[in-house]
């Protein structure tokens, strides 16, 4: 399925839940913590030379910006539902098992939207070189990804819902 023109952000159900949890924490916990820090710093007197107050205000600004950003993502996202993922080919929301033909090792990738990508955890963006090469391919196919140092070749061995 092509999601490129439908929403600003493509999220898997897991990614959507993580954003909702972070937003809830920021609104319910961080806001209160910052308000308490600002109140405590104000009670210490002269605000013009109060480093704790300035730091709390900077943190408040950061967290409020983060809340706005997360709310914007949620407003402008499309959620790829696990049950709707077509496993006949690689797409967002799929776990892909491949054999690295250069090393003969099996690697697992989960294809996600750009916002969720974390290559250290095997979460690769559909817009990354590897994700883009895998997108739309079927088990048994070989994909080649050219990097500055070498060409990586992967054979897709399994595609399933993540």
Domains of the chain and any CATH numbers: 9-80 (1.10.287.180), 85-161 (3.10.50.30)
Q: Has residue 45 got a pLDDT over 80?
A: no
Residue 47: pLDDT band with limits 50, 70, 90:
low
Based on its alpha-carbon atoms, the radius of gyration of the chain, rounded to whole angstroms, reads 22
Question: Bridge-partner residues for 77, per DSSP?
Answer: 9
CA pair distance 85, 75, nearest whole angstrom: 22
Looking at residue 5, what is its pLDDT? 47
Residue 33 neighbours by CB distance under 10 Å: 13
What does pLDDT average to over the chain? Answer: 92
Looking at residue 8, what is its pLDDT? 84
Q: Has residue 32 got a pLDDT over 90?
A: yes
Residues counted in the chain: 162
Of 135, 108, 133, nearest to 123 by C-alpha is 108
Query: Quick check: 96 and 137 in contact, CB under 8 A?
Result: no
Percent of the chain scoring above 70 in pLDDT: 94
Q: 3-state DSSP helix/strand/coil percent for the chain, to nearest 5?
A: 45, 25, 30
Mean pLDDT value of segment 27-44:
92
Of 142, 111, 143, 140, nearest to 128 by C-alpha is 111
Mean pLDDT value of segment 53-67:
95
- What's the number of CA atoms in the CB half-sphere (13 Å) around residue 3? 26
Lowest mean pLDDT among 42-56, 74-88, 89-103: 42-56
Tracing tokens 């961080």 back to the chain, one arrives at 30
């Amino acid at each position: 399925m092509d999601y490129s023109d439908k929403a600003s952000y493509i999220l898997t159900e897991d990614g959507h839940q993580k954003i909702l949890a972070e937003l809830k924490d920021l609104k319910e916990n961080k806001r209160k913590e910052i308000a308490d820090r600002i109140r405590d710093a104000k009670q210490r007197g002269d605000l013009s030379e109060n480093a704790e107050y300035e730091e709390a205000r900077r943190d408040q600004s950061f967290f409020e910006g983060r809340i706005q950003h997360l709310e914007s993502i949620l407003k402008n996202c499309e959620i790829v539902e696990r049950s709707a993922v077509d496993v006949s080919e690689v797409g967002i929301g799929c776990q892909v098992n491949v054999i690295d033909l250069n090393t003969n090792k099996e690697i697992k990738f989960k294809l996600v939207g750009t916002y969720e990508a974390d290559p250290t955890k095997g979460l690769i963006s559909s817009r990354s070189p590897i994700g883009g090469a895998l997108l739309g391919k079927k088990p048994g196919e070989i994909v080649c990804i050219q990097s500055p140092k070498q060409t990586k070749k992967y054979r897709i061995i399994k595609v399933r819902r993540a």
